């Protein structure tokens, strides 16, 4: 099972370039959590100190607005969520609810700190990779916001002004 989890992590941008030995070290510190369909991994505003790597299942990322939940997107096997908590130490910015029964690897700030003490180079690489992933998501969000403000759909350009 450990080999399958290491292989899963190696496919993810956040763990790109991370040695197998390092991933094994982190996995030894990281519990696997099981969440039933309809239950939450966490809710928007919850205190945060860990991220999750989805091993099995599907989750919905939800944002609250005027007492209503809005779907931001779905995530599936091999996706991660909650990584912002390891970077900014702020409360959860969205909720994550299981759409199917799920299992996920929970990677805590405390386990990353243990890696920091053991191998600063590998810790730094993970931090850089997380920063890149958060930046990628920010770029996507900026593009969606721009298209919405300009009256264009996610894939279309209707209503977008063009420089000539």
DSSP one-letter code for 160: -
Mean pLDDT value across the chain: 90
Domains and CATH numbers, the chain: 2-149 (2.60.120.10)
Reported as half-sphere exposure (CB side, CA atoms, 13 A), residue 67 has a value of 0
Q: Kind of pairing, strands 59-65 and 95-98?
A: antiparallel
Give me the pLDDT at residue 31, please: 97
- From 9, 13, 17, select the one nearest 106 (Cα to Cα): 9
Q: Is it the case that residue 164 has pLDDT exceeding 90?
A: no
> Per residue in 13-52, pLDDT tens?
999 899 999 999 999 999 999 999 999 999 999 999 999 9
Is residue 134 within 8 Å of 87, Cβ to Cβ? yes
Give me the pLDDT at residue 94, please: 94
Name the β-bridge partners of 9: none
State the alpha helices, DSSP H only, in 56-119: 84-88, 109-118
The pTM is what?
0.84
């Amino acid at each position: 099972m450990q080999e399958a989890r290491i292989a899963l992590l190696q496919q993810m941008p956040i763990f790109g370039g991370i040695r197998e030995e390092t991933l094994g070290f982190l996995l030894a510190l990281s519990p696997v959590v099981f969440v039933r369909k309809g239950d939450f991994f966490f809710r928007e505003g919850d205190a945060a100190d860990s991220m999750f790597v989805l091993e099995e299942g599907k989750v919905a990322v939800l944002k609250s607005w005027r007492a209503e939940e809005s779907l931001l997107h779905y995530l599936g096997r091999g996706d991660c969520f909650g990584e912002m908590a390891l970077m900014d130490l702020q409360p959860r910015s969205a909720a994550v609810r299981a759409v199917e029964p799920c299992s996920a690897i929970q990677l805590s700030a405390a386990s990353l700190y243990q890696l920091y003490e053991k191998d600063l180079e590998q810790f730094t690489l993970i931090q850089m990779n997380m920063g890149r992933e958060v930046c990628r998501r920010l770029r996507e969000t900026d593009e969606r916001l721009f298209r919405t403000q300009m009256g264009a759909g996610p894939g279309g350009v209707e209503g977008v002004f063009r420089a000539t």
